[in-house]
Structure 1
Amino acid sequence: MPDSIIDSREKIGELDKSNMIGSIEALGKQIEHAWEELKNISFTPKDEIRNIVVSGMGGSALGADVIAHLFKEELKVPLYINRTYSLPEFVDMHTLVVLSSYSGTTEEVIAAAAEAEARKAQIMVICAGGTLLELAQNKGYAHYKIDPVHNASDQPRMAIGYSVFGTIGLFEKAGLLQISDADVVEVVKTINKQVEACTIEVSGESNPAKALAYTMLDRQPVIIVADFLEGAAHVSANQHNENGKAYVNYKVIPEINHHLMEGLRFPKSNASTQVFIFVNSVLYPPKISLRMRLTQQIVEDNHIETMAVPLQASSKMAQAFEMISLFSFCSFYLAMLEGIDPSPIPFVDAFKEELKKQGKDYE
């Protein structure tokens, strides 16, 4: 597959059969759409909310992950992200449980819904349809029904704008978080600027997403972030796994300074197979920025290639989406360079089908 495919919208269209590039380029529109629709939702807490549990899997949990790290200093109560069938023991009438499933049929989330009801938790729902939507409508739960007009691929992982701002909007309705229309405008402007820089028509080294994709191609990349960008890194790694069909991981500073640096020497093939991507921000605390620099030097001392990605936006929320947009494009271009359609997830789908067949024996 000639590398020039990523410079040709026509050639990309032949491979990108579900129009994933349309979802990536419409991220800002997803956010605007979600923010406008959330204005029509109302919610009155029945009891004091002392903690939040967001129950979701895969792409449907990523929005909460972004929020948990982006707003850890603003959220008024603890936020727990639940990625399994059962809820944590502390869930009770003072817990806000947000059930998040793009399809509305995720079995782990459906199971958590029944448990949340039994424990008399306060429930909100975010989905695009399915069983969860029926449940929300029948029970009168406050809910945000995603109308994915700006998610052309209809892939849950590519509805990240709907997911993050849908969840933020629900938290706002519960009185747990507050952002302004101006904050949203800044995020959208940042994304649109990134789209202009990373779009198909911008070629070669002038396109940061394409440069990043070439660096990551046929390697095992590790994305290094810190502080408020941890959730954005999770989104980025997941999208590379599903879109690029590539093993991409992320690690967080300062945690890795206590162990990972000693794990770089072996196997010796690390020097030829790995690349560390350091995502830098002027909004990191100074001590964290120092750790980033020193860590990058140690990685290079172990003869492993590194690449620095500086973020430019002026706020934490805008930088998080600046990063998400960049790495979304990168994951897409990586798939194009590999000659694969980024949308299908055959192993995940086959696993789910086999789980249905064999799972009844474990109920």
Structure 2
Amino acid sequence: MIHDFFQQQVEKLDPTDVLGSIGMIPKQIEQVWMQGKKFIFPREFSQATSVCVFGMGGSTLGSDFLSSVFRDELKAPITIVNDYTVPAWVNTSTLVILSSYSGTTEEVLHASEQVIKKTKFIVAVSTGGQLEQWARKRKIPSFIFDPIHNPSKQPRVGIGYGIASQLVVLKVARLLSVSDAQMTMAIRHLNTLVKKYGGNGVEQKNEAKKCARAMVGKAAIIMTAEHLKGSGHIFQNQIHETAKQFSVHFPLPELNHHLLEGLSFPKDVLKNMIAVCCESTLYHARNQKRFAVTKKVLKKQHIASYALRLEGNSRFDQALGLVLFASYATLYLALLNNMNPANIPWVDFFKKQLK
């Protein structure tokens, strides 16, 4: 049972079970990880010296996540393209990942016809749709997953699929090494957090609910660093789509070189802002100090802040933990905003206008 207000709001506003999908993120990851053990593609794919991922919205968040968490372990740089155009540098040594949760993303389908002229190292990642058909026709390797643990059918809360499927591709291509033990520990950590952040329990003891309450009526600046940058991007997007609220993401130390001076005007806007500071003891010591000083600056400028200290013994565990936290916090924020967390009316309107 969900306590009081949130229970009532879920019953009224969450008919597609976004709450259930979030609680199944650990199962999403486990499902794809096990499926990935049987996934193979030509050995020469491991010769790739660069990776280019094509996708829109939630379909490339997994790549951004992995680029942040494993930035000093990846054997090839990853570039994410959220557009129609294939970069000129893509060549025969580039592994291209065509990522579309639905398999119908027009930008990805458009780019697919261009990349086959540049490289043979191509993998499609999807639940099916036109992308799967395109890849099958051209005998291009495809990692197709069945999102059985995402009852809401919303890609953003099927983020476990997005992260794990991209991870499987990079692992099979021998560009990243993640062990079964690492994955088991990560899933165990997430299952613990599901109990902590999930629907049960009073608000005062639930960090995700408290954070959501703090963000009500405010534009949220998500502040992260290092291995949490990709998770911060996910947090921002989920505030947009799930809570229907404005948010931006800025990573440290970069924001310290410009954003602090941009927090003086306009006064009417700044009083309705909050900085969500995602802190970690695994950050570089200087970045940990930067967070402390940044919060001092925010206080001096009378801007609200919320300090979130990530749990977990590894960067992977902490980054996944932030994704789960963000998923729950933005659901609760949607309920506080009296909004259906699944519906995306303006995106749907926009797509119809493009037809």
Which bin holds the TM-score, normalised by the shorter protein? over 0.9
Separation in 1 of the partners of 2:123 and 2:94? Answer: 11
Aligned equivalent of 1:349: 348
Q: Contact 2:9–2:338 at 8 Å: present in 1 too? A: no
Match of 1:43 among 41, 44, 49: 41
Query: Aligned-pair distance for 1:174?
Result: 0.9
Q: Deviations over 1:79-122 (max 9, x none)?
A: 10011001110111111000000110101000111111111341
Q: What is the 5 A alignment of 1:1-363?
A: 4-6=4-6, 8=7, 11-46=9-44, 48-356=47-355
Aligned counterparts of 1:146 and 1:234: Cα–Cα separation in 2: 24
Residue deviations 1:319-352, cap 9 Å, x none? 0011111111010001111111111111111111
Q: Secondary structure at the match of 1:172?
A: helix
Deviation at 1:143, TM superposition (A): 1.5
Mapped to 2, the partners of 1:354 and 1:268 lie a distance apart of 36
Note if contact 2:95-2:119 (Cα within 8 Å) is conserved in structure 1: no
Shift of residue 45, structure 1, vs aligned partner: 4.1
Worse-matched range after superposition: 104-113 or 117-126: 117-126
Deviations, residues 166-194 of structure 1 (Å, cap 9, x unaligned): 11101111111110011111111111111
Cα distance in 1, alignment partners of residues 118 and 271 from structure 2: 52
Q: Is the partner of 2:224 in helix, strand or coil?
A: strand
Paired amino acid for 2:195: E
| Cα separation, 2, equivalents of 1:32 and 1:245 | 30
Q: Deviations over 1:61-87 (max 9, x none)?
A: 100110111111011111100110011
Which stretch of the first structure deviates more once superposed, 75-84 or 266-275? 266-275
Residue identity (%): 34
What amino acid sits opposite 2:222 in the alignment? I
Letter in 2 for 1:335: A
Rate the CA distance shift 1:45–1:100 in 2: closer, same or farther, 3 A: same
In the alignment, the residues of structure 2 paired with residue 70 and residue 200 of structure 1 have an alpha-carbon distance, to the nearest angstrom, of 28
The CA deviation at 1:318 is 0.5
Q: 2 CA distance for matches of 1:270 and 1:15?
A: 29
SS at match of 1:178: coil
CA contact (8 A) 1:155 1:343 kept: yes
State the 1:11 CA deviation.
4.4
Structure 1 CA distance for aligned equivalents of residues 270 and 108 of structure 2: 41
Pairwise CA distance, 1:140: 2.1
Q: TM-score, normalised by structure 2?
A: 0.97
TM norm structure 1? 0.94
Check conservation: 2:9, 2:335, Cα contact below 8 A.
Answer: no
Indicate if the aligned counterparts of 1:25 and 1:195 stay in contact, CA closer than 8 A.
yes
Partner letter of residue 5 of structure 2?
I
1:272 deviates by 2.5
Structure 2 residue ranges without an equivalent (≥5): none
Residue identity opposite 1:33 in structure 2 = Q
Q: Which residue of 2 aligns with 1:361?
A: none
**Given that residues 225 and 252 in structure 1 are in contact (C-alpha distance below 8 angstroms), is that contact kept between their aligned partners in structure 2?**
yes
Counterpart Cα distance in 1 of 2:265 and 2:71: 36
What amino acid maps onto 2:75 in structure 1? K
2:177 is matched by which residue type in structure 1?
A: Q
Between 208-217 and 116-125, the greater mean CA deviation after superposition: 116-125
SS in 1 for 2:276: strand
Distance 1:322 1:172 in 2: 21
Q: Which moved more, 1:276-285 or 1:39-48?
A: 39-48
Q: CA RMSD in A?
A: 1.3
**Contact kept in structure 2, 1:24 and 1:328, CA below 8 Å:** yes
Separation (CA, whole Å) in 1 of partners of 2:219 and 2:126: 33
**Matches of 1:353 and 1:15, distance apart in 2:** 24
| Mean Cα deviation higher: 135-144 or 161-170 | 135-144
Q: Distance between the aligned counterparts of 2:170 and 2:140, measured in 1?
A: 14
Contact 1:270-1:304 at 8 Å conserved across structures = no
Other structure's SS at 2:146 match: coil
Count residues with an aligned counterpart.
352
- Looking at structure 2, the residues matched to 330 and 141 of structure 1 have their Cα atoms a distance apart, in angstroms, of 39
- Could you tell me which amino acid in structure 2 is paired with residue 106 of structure 1? T
Unpaired segments ≥5 residues, structure 1:
357-363
| Contact 1:102–1:127, Cα closer than 8 Å, also in 2 | yes
